[in-house]
């Protein structure tokens, strides 16, 4: 890599990180405004709230990476043009093709960071954030490697996971008598929550303690009035926009194997696949909108058309409003889908 290439990538990276810092500060402020009303509920203190907000940062960074690359790239290139450095670079023998190649390398660096955030860091941080918030507000539940544990009267319930369609997987129920001695245990492969709050259990195995003996029963299905508020299970619920590409792929296969509708999840799958690509594209868009001279005019006016190009199909619900959602063909999202702030402090 030449000295000029290293210098360009350094300048582009610095301004992109500054842009990312500013965007993260803005979205963190939105999160604080949304969460401050819940402080004091149960054990949800101000410190817990700040921990929750900080854990949202990887997800915000993932969703805003293309926009940060666009803004940072445009600012860096405009500064180079205004200081006549771009002219010097070109007269030193650096062709437009060479500059494009450097921008592609810069975009690929941040595309790799986007993929890393989306596949590992952001989903893990989101899960931990939701666990932290829910367990702080509801003292009678706890979470761990085996999922969610809830104490309800004389029952202790364990749910391993909750899918986006709100069906449950890996249910265990330990029922105790009035002296809190174990009376029976249930294990169910899956469950669906009925409209009245009851659970429709599938493939149930019951172990009943009868003195010194254990009697085992198996049932294809069983209805149980759980008496558990649905909000307690929200800690297990992972929204599609918070799932990794790998997890979405597995869930789409699960839906298709069970002849269920998967179009919305396919849209989200394509959207996540395009985020790293969009990061590279935005680096090139920044070059396209870089003025040849910035001796007159204002940087804000130059940023406006470039930033607007990154929002081609944005609705209040984010990128899921892609026109592809109304067709029968594989849904393809717009070239870039930066997040929008919502009244609840979420984005995407």
> What is the band of 25 on the pLDDT scale with cuts at 50, 70, 90?
very high
Does 194 have pLDDT greater than 60?
A: yes
The two tokens of residue 130 are 């939701």
- Residue-level pLDDT at 19: 94
The pLDDT of residue 240 is above 50: yes
Checking DSSP bridges between strand 213-224 and strand 199-210, what pairing results, if any?
antiparallel
> What is residue 322's predicted lDDT score, i.e. its pLDDT?
37
Strands (E) located in the chain: 141-144, 147-152, 155-162, 167-176, 182-193, 199-210, 213-224
Residue 343 banded pLDDT, cuts 50, 70, 90: very low
> Is the predicted pLDDT of residue 344 greater than 80, yes or no?
no
Q: Which residues have a Cβ under 8 Å from the Cβ of 29 and sit 6 or more positions away?
A: none
Mean pLDDT of the chain: 78
Q: What band does 208 get if pLDDT is binned at 50, 70 and 90?
A: confident
pLDDT for position 265: 84
Token match 């507000």: residue? 137
Q: Which residues contact 209 (CB under 8 A, 6 or more apart)?
A: 182, 183, 184
Task: State the Cα–Cα distance between residues 213 and 21, nearest whole angstrom.
Answer: 63
**Is it the case that residue 161 has pLDDT exceeding 70?**
yes
Top-confidence residue, 99 or 256? 99
Give per-residue pLDDT as tens, 262-271: 888 888 888 8
pLDDT 10s digits, 285-332: 888 887 665 555 455 555 556 555 555 533 334 443 333 333 333 444
Strand, helix or coil for residue 54: helix
pLDDT on residue 22: 95
Answer for the pair 130, 235: CB distance below 8 angstroms, yes or no: yes
Give ∠ CA 268-70-263 in degrees, rounded to 5.
10
Lookup: tokens for 237? 């619920």
- Dihedral angle of Cα 128, 131, 135, 140, to the nearest 10 degrees: -130
Query: Which is nearest to 197 in space by CA: 218, 166, 237?
Result: 166
% of the chain at pLDDT higher than 70: 77
pLDDT over 80 at 14, yes or no: yes
Angle at CA of residue 258, ends 191 and 226, nearest 5°: 10
pLDDT of 117: 93
Mean pLDDT for 81-91 is 84
pLDDT (tens digit per residue) in 27-59: 999 999 999 988 888 788 999 999 999 999 999
Give 299 or 260, the one with higher predicted confidence: 260
Is residue 346 predicted with pLDDT exceeding 60?
no
Whether pLDDT at 112 is above 60: yes
Angle between helices 3-35 and 46-82 (to 10 degrees): 150
Q: How many CB atoms lie within 10 A of CB 217?
A: 12
Provide the 10 A C-beta neighbour count for residue 89.
18
Full DSSP string of 238-296 = --GGGS-HHHHHHHHHHHHHTT---HHHHHHHHHHHHHHHHHHHHHHHHHHT--S--SS
> For residue 182, what are the contacts with CB-CB under 8 A and spacing of at least 6?
174, 175, 176, 209
Higher pLDDT, 215 or 230: 215
Mean pLDDT lowest among 153-162, 276-285, 299-308 = 299-308
Residue 59's H or E segment, with its range, is helix 46-82
């Amino acid at each position: 890599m030449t000295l000029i290439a290293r210098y360009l990538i350094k300048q582009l990276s610095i301004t992109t990180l500054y842009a990312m810092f500013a965007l993260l500060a803005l979205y963190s402020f939105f999160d604080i405004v949304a969460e401050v009303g819940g402080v004091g509920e149960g054990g949800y203190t101000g410190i817990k709230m700040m921990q929750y907000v900080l854990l949202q940062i990887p997800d915000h960074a993932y969703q805003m990476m293309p926009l940060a690359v666009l803004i940072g790239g445009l600012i860096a290139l405009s500064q180079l043009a205004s200081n006549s450095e771009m002219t010097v670079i070109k007269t030193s023998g650096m062709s437009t093709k060479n500059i494009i190649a450097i921008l592609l390398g810069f975009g690929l660096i941040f595309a790799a960071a986007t993929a890393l955030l989306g596949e590992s860091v952001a989903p893990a941080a989101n899960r931990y954030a939701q666990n932290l918030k829910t367990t702080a507000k509801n003292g009678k539940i706890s979470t761990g490697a085996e999922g969610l544990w809830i104490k309800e009267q004389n029952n202790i319930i364990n749910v391993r996971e909750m899918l986006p369609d709100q069906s449950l997987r890996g249910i265990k129920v330990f029922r105790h008598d009035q002296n809190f001695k174990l009376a029976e245990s249930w294990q169910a492969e899956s469950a669906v929550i009925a409209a009245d709050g009851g659970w429709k259990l599938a493939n149930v195995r019951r172990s009943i303690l009868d003195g010194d003996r254990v009697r085992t029963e198996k049932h294809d299905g069983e209805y149980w009035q759980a008496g558990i508020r649905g909000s307690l299970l929200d800690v297990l619920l992972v929204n599609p926009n918070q799932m990794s590409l790998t997890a979405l792929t597995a869930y789409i296969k699960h839906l298709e194997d069970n002849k269920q509708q998967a179009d919305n999840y396919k849209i989200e799958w394509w959207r996540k696949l395009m985020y790293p690509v969009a990061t590279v594209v935005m680096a090139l868009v920044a070059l396209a909108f870089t003025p040849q001279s910035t001796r007159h005019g204002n940087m804000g006016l130059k940023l406006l058309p470039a930033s607007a190009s990154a929002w081609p199909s944005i609705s209040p619900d984010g990128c899921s409003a892609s026109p592809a959602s109304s067709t029968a063909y594989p849904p393809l999202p717009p070239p870039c889908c930066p997040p929008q702030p919502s009244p609840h402090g979420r984005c995407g």
